[in-house]
Amino acid sequence: MKFWLTTLLLCLSLVCARAGVLDDIVPHPAKAELLKGSFRISGAAIKCDPAFDAATVEAVSRFAARLSYACGKTSPVSTPLGLRDALAGGKVKGLVILHDGSLADEAYSILVSPRNAVIRANGLNGVFYALETLRQMLPTAIYGNRQALKDRWTLPCCLIEDAPRFAWRGMHLDSARHIWSIDEVKRYLDVMAMYKLNRFHWHLTDDQGWRIEIKSYPLLSQIACWREGTMIGRDFSSNDHIRYGGFYTQDEIREVVEYAAARGITVVPEVDLPGHMLAAMSAYPQLGCTGGPYAAWTIWGVSDQVLCVGKESTFTFLERVLAEVAELFPGEYIHIGGDECPKDEWKKCPDCQALIRRLGLKDDGRFTAEQYLQNYVTKRIQDYLATLGKKVIGWDEILEGDLAPGATVMSWRGAAGGREAAARGFDAVMAPNSHCYFDYYQAEGGEGEPLGIGGFVPVEKVYSLDPLEGIAPEHAHHILGVQANLWTEYISTPEHLEYMLLPRMLALSEVQWCSPERRDADRFLRVLREHEFPVLEQAGYNYRHN
C-alpha cells in the first residue's frame, strides 16, 4: 500500500505541473497568467519559424537536445514553411516558435494550451529568454546531467508576456587578479544566460596581470601576463613566490565572444587606463613616466605608477592595442576603466607637465590640472574608438572635470556617479558597491566566510537596490541598466568564484529585469530556497546556502 501511494505521488509530481510554477520563475516575468489544463512537452515536436536566423535556430536545437536528454523522449526540431498559416488553421501541435517583428528586442510571449505551446519573439534574445522561462517551469532535471527514462513532463496552460526593464543587464569578471580558464568563463556565461543577463564585462588588464594577447605587442603575453608571486592572505609584506599568470589567445577570446553571443550576451572588454597599467609597463617600460623598471604587482591595491600620457608614443600604444581589441569584440562598447588613477607621477613628470601647459590646463579649485589631463586622455581615446565605430564606457571617475559628450559612465562608488551622469546628460550603468560588489562578504564581518576583501552585501541587500532612486523622471532614460562586479583579489578557485556569484546574481537578475511592481523580496527568497537552489544544484554550481 505504502509503495503504491509513494509511486502515485511520484507520478503525480512528474505529470502534474507544479503548483505555483509561474511564481517560481526567476527573474519574475512581467505578466504570467495561469489558464486551465496542461500541455505535454516531453517528446513534443518543435517547429521553428524559418524567418529566424541560424543562431536562433541553433539555440532552439540546444534546448531541444537538453529537453530530449533530460526527459528521455526525443523532441525533433524542424523549420517548416507556412508555419504561421498552419497555426492559424489550428493544425499545429507541439512547441511552436514564431517570429514576431512587432515585439520589442528581447521581449517574448508564451501561450501554452493543451494542443500546443507558442512562443513569439523578434530574434535570438527573445527566443532564448522564452526557452529559459520554459526551463524554469520544468522539473529541475532539465538543468542536470541525468538522463531520464521516458519521464512525462507537462507545462501548465498559461499566458506569459515578458520584457526586461533594463537593456544593460551586466555581470563583470576580473580575470586580471586571478585568471579563469575558458571553460570556467563559459560556466559563468551559462549561469548568466539562465537568468537573462546580457552583458559580460570582462576585466582583462590590471596592475597584477595583462590577460589578452595583442599581436602588435608580443611582450604583453610574454612578460606582462606574469607576476613573481602573490601576497598571502591579507599580509601585504608577504609573497608566496609562486610565479602566477597566463593570458587568453585571440582565438580563445573569439571563442568566448561567440559562445556568449549564442546565449544573447555581448562581451564588453575592459582595458583599464591610464591607471592600473603596471603590468603593461613591466613589458614596455617606456610607457611610464619614470621609464621603470617595473614589475607586475604581487600585492593587491592600486599602483601609483601610471601611463605617461605626456608622451605621444603612449597613445600609439593605446591605439594599436585598442584597434586589436575592437576587432575581437563586436559589441558597441569598449570599457576604458579610468578608475583610481593616482596623479602623483604626472605632477612630477616633465612630459606630462609640458602637455598640461600646452593644453592650458589649470587647477581651478574644483579639479586639478592633472584631473583635466585625464579628461584629455579619455576624450582622445573616445575619439579614436569612434573612428572604429565604438563607444566608450568608463568608471565614474571619468566624470571628474569635463567629460566629453557621448561617453557612458559606470557608477561604482555608490550611485552618486550614476545620478550625476544622468543629470548631466550622460548615459550610465548602475553598479554601486553598496549593492553590487560581489567580492564583498555575504555575512556580517565575514563571519564564517572564506577570506575576502571586506564589505557586506547579502542577497537581500542586492535585491533591495532601486536603480532609479534619486534620478529625476526626465533623466531616467539615461540609466541603461544595472551590473554587479566580481573582483578577484581574494578569489582564486572556481568554487569560491561561484560561491561569491551565487545566489546574489539571481537577486541582481530581478533588479535588472523586473519592474518595481513585480519585485517581492518574500516571494524571491522563498523561490530561491525552494526552486533556485535545486536548479543550481542540478546545474552543478557552488553557491551560498543562505
**What residues make contact with ligand ACM under the rule CB under 6 A?**
339-340, 395, 412
Are the CB atoms for 83 and 92 separated by under 8 Å?
yes
Is 340 one of the annotated active-site residues of the chain?
yes
Catalytic-role residue among 49, 206, 213, 439: 206
Q: In the complex with Zn ion, which residue's Cβ is closer, 255 or 351?
A: 351
Q: In the complex with ligand ACM, which residue's Cβ is closer, 52 or 395?
A: 395
Cβ 307 to Zn ion shortest distance, Å: 8
**β partners of residue 97:** 48, 119
Q: Give me 148's grid cell.
A: 531520464
Q: What angle do CA 122, 126, 130 make, to 5 degrees?
A: 130
Q: In the complex with ligand ACM, which residue's Cβ is closer, 395 or 463?
A: 395
Amino acid 328 reads L
Which ranges constitute the DSSP H helices of 290-400? 312-328, 344-348, 350-359, 369-387
| Residue 399, C-beta contacts closer than 8 angstroms, at least 6 positions apart | 409, 417, 420, 421, 424, 426
231, 308, 373, 399: which one contacts Zn ion (CB under 5 A)? 308
3-state secondary structure 444-490: HHHCCCCCCCCCECCHHHHHCCCCCCCCCHHHHHHEEEEEEECCCCC
Per-residue interface string for the shown chain with Zn ion, residues 312-351, x marking contact by CB under 5 A: -------------------------------------x-x
Per-residue interface string for the shown chain with Zn ion, residues 350-369, x marking contact by CB under 5 A: -xx-----------------
| Contacted entry of ligand ACM, Zn ion, none for residue 480, CB cut-off 5 to 8 Å set by kind | none
**β partners of residue 161:** 31, 109
Q: Is 306 helix (H, G, I), strand (E, B) or coil?
A: coil
Amino acid 472 reads A
| Contacted entry of ligand ACM, Zn ion, none for residue 340, CB cut-off 5 to 8 Å set by kind | ligand ACM
For residues 207 and 197, what is the distance between their CA atoms, to the nearest angstrom?
28
Stretch that binds Zn ion, among 167-175, 303-311, 404-412, 489-497 (CB under 5 A): 303-311
Cβ 346 to Zn ion shortest distance, Å: 6
Cβ 470 to ligand ACM shortest distance, Å: 20
Cβ 385 to Zn ion shortest distance, Å: 22
Number of residues that bind Zn ion (CB under 5 A): 6
| Contacted entry of ligand ACM, Zn ion, none for residue 527, CB cut-off 5 to 8 Å set by kind | none
DSSP string, 398-418: GGSS-PPTT-EEEE-SSSHHH
Are the CB atoms for 75 and 95 separated by under 8 Å?
yes
285 touching Zn ion, by CB under 5 A: no
Q: What angle do CA 32, 169, 261 make, to 5 degrees?
A: 100
| Contacted entry of ligand ACM, Zn ion, none for residue 352, CB cut-off 5 to 8 Å set by kind | Zn ion
Cβ 232 to ligand ACM shortest distance, Å: 23
Q: In the complex with Zn ion, which residue's Cβ is closer, 96 or 355?
A: 355
| Contacted entry of Zn ion, ligand ACM, none for residue 308, CB cut-off 5 to 8 Å set by kind | Zn ion
Catalytic-role residue among 184, 228, 339, 340: 340
Helix (H) or strand (E) run with residue 38 in it:
strand 31-40
Q: Which residue of this chain has its Cβ atom nearest to ligand ACM in the complex?
A: 339
Q: What angle do CA 176, 178, 182 make, to 5 degrees?
A: 90
Cβ 337 to ligand ACM shortest distance, Å: 8
289, 422, 497, 501: which one contacts Zn ion (CB under 5 A)? 289
Q: In the complex with Zn ion, which residue's Cβ is closer, 326 or 352?
A: 352
For residues 7 and 175, what is the distance between their CA atoms, to the nearest angstrom?
49
Q: In the complex with ligand ACM, which residue's Cβ is closer, 98 or 508?
A: 508
454: left (phi over 0), alpha (psi -120 to 50) or beta: left
Is 383 one of the annotated active-site residues of the chain?
no
| Contacted entry of ligand ACM, Zn ion, none for residue 289, CB cut-off 5 to 8 Å set by kind | Zn ion
| Contacted entry of ligand ACM, Zn ion, none for residue 310, CB cut-off 5 to 8 Å set by kind | Zn ion
Q: In the complex with ligand ACM, which residue's Cβ is closer, 217 or 395?
A: 395
Q: How many other CB atoms are found less than 10 A from the CB of residue 302?
A: 16
Q: In the complex with Zn ion, which residue's Cβ is closer, 72 or 310?
A: 310
Catalytic-role residue among 28, 99, 201, 276: 276
Are the CB atoms for 101 and 122 separated by under 8 Å?
yes
| Contacted entry of ligand ACM, Zn ion, none for residue 426, CB cut-off 5 to 8 Å set by kind | none
Q: What angle do CA 503, 505, 506 make, to 5 degrees?
A: 70
Cβ 177 to ligand ACM shortest distance, Å: 11
Is 475 one of the annotated active-site residues of the chain?
no
Q: Give me 295's grid cell.
A: 614589475
* Chain positions contacting Zn ion, by CB under 5 A: 289, 308, 310, 349, 351-352
Q: Which residues are catalytic?
A: 206, 276, 340
